Structure 1
Amino acid sequence: MEDAAIPAVDISSEVAEPAAALWLAVTTPRGVNAELMPFIRMTFPEADMRLADAPLDTPLFGSWIFLFGVLPFDRHTFVIHEVGARHFVETSRSLLQKLWRHERSLTETAGGTIIRDVVTVIPRFSFAAPATNFVVRAIFRHRHRRLARLYGAAQEKPAGPHRRAF
């Protein structure tokens, strides 16, 4: 990773949905946009594309990022580096970000699934790092709240080593 960057976000939450079903939902264009809306919407070349079918370490597609679903504000080019049974690592570069690295993992629990997102961002302009990190944290807090609404919140548990409240 460039410049030994520190993740802007390391957030986990537990939902009631089993990991296998959740994985099929959150790795689709429809699932990604369900997490992001109403604040952000992304474009995809195919509505039914599957993460498991993506070639590794190859630029996949360019995606417009829309604020409130209508105002374009960035364009990302995505590269998938790892896809496992229930985890992925993707990076992108964009008009605003020199590097965006998103790692997501799903871990089955007795009550559902723990979703963990670790996101590292290096903005093109270093002075923008504090604001960028603030926005990225807000987006992922929103995503995790949406995940709980969409897939059922698991019972609340005390914070553990990978469970952070922001």
Structure 2
Amino acid sequence: MSTRTRVLERTSVVEASSDAVWARIVTAEGINDEMLPVLRMAAPRGMRDLRVDTVPVGRRVGRCWLFLFGVVPFDYDDLMLLSIEPGRRFHEHSSMASMRSWEHERTLTALDPTRTAVHDRVTFELRAPLARVPGLPSLVARGIARFFAHRHTRLRRHFAGR
């Protein structure tokens, strides 16, 4: 791991079974619901029904474009799934226009039949020009941390009161 690599982690408890949470987090609808209104991600051409749990492991899926506020294209995620444990965990690795490396590992742990701990670990490294801008790596890390807090809030809210 490079000295420029940053690691962020967040864990939340969702009031739903791990099966229900898994069924939500692997779909494009569930992913985008977590990210909106900040971001929206579009699947590569011809892969409209893309699901994390059906992506071939170790094979590049293609560029998933990211849209700021759902409409302004600003980056892409060149997605590849490193590993998956259906119902429990996925680990994706990609590069982006802004990131030399981006890894997102999400793990679900059933706490009981109606509650699930969701743990995200994000590891990233900005591309060289951006990484050399004073203060920018720390600012980006804070932004990503806030974004994942937002994602967890949206996921918890989806299952609240069900």
Q: TM-score range by the shorter chain?
A: 0.7 to 0.9
Matched residue, 2:105: 103
Bigger fraction of residues in strand = 2
1:29-40 counterparts in 2 under 5 A?
29-40=28-39
**SS in structure 1 opposite 2:32?**
helix
SS in 2 for 1:141: helix
Q: Sequence identity of aligned pairs in percent?
A: 30
Aligned to 2:80: 79
Distance 1:67 1:51 in 2: 22
- Report how far residue 50 of structure 1 moved: 2.5
What is the rounded CA distance, in whole Å, between the counterparts of 2:6 and 2:102 in structure 1? Answer: 12
Per-residue deviation, residues 107-163 of structure 1 (Å, max 9, x unmatched): 00124100000001101121331121011111101001111111128xxxxxxxxxx
What is the 5 A alignment of 1:39-118?
Answer: 39-45=38-44, 46-85=47-86, 86-110=88-112, 111-118=114-121
Residue segments in structure 2 that go unaligned for 5+ positions in a row: none
Give the 3-state SS of the residue equivalent to 1:3 in structure 2.
Answer: coil
Contact 2:63 2:79 in 1 (8 A): yes
Query: Which residue does the alignment assign to 1:150?
Result: 158
Q: Residues 18-59 of structure 1: CA distance to partner in whole angstroms, max 9, x if unpaired?
A: 001110110111100000001100001333222222111211
* Conserved? CA contact 1:30–1:47, under 8 Å: no
CA distance in 2, matches of 1:10, 1:96: 20
Q: Distance in 2 between matches of 1:42 and 1:83?
A: 20
TM-score norm. by structure 1 comes to: 0.85
Tell me how far apart the structure 2 counterparts of residues 119 and 129 of structure 1 sit (CA, whole Å).
14
Q: Does 1:21 align with 2:20?
A: yes
Q: Distance in 1 between matches of 2:76 and 2:104?
A: 16
Letter of the 2:84 partner, please give it: V
Equivalent of residue 149 in structure 2, options 117, 141, 159: 141
Cα separation, 2, equivalents of 1:150 and 1:87: 20
Q: State how many pairs are aligned.
A: 151
CA RMSD in angstroms, aligned pairs only: 1.5
TM-score, normalising length from structure 2? 0.87
Return the alpha-carbon distance in structure 2 between the equivalents of residues 52 and 81 of structure 1: 12
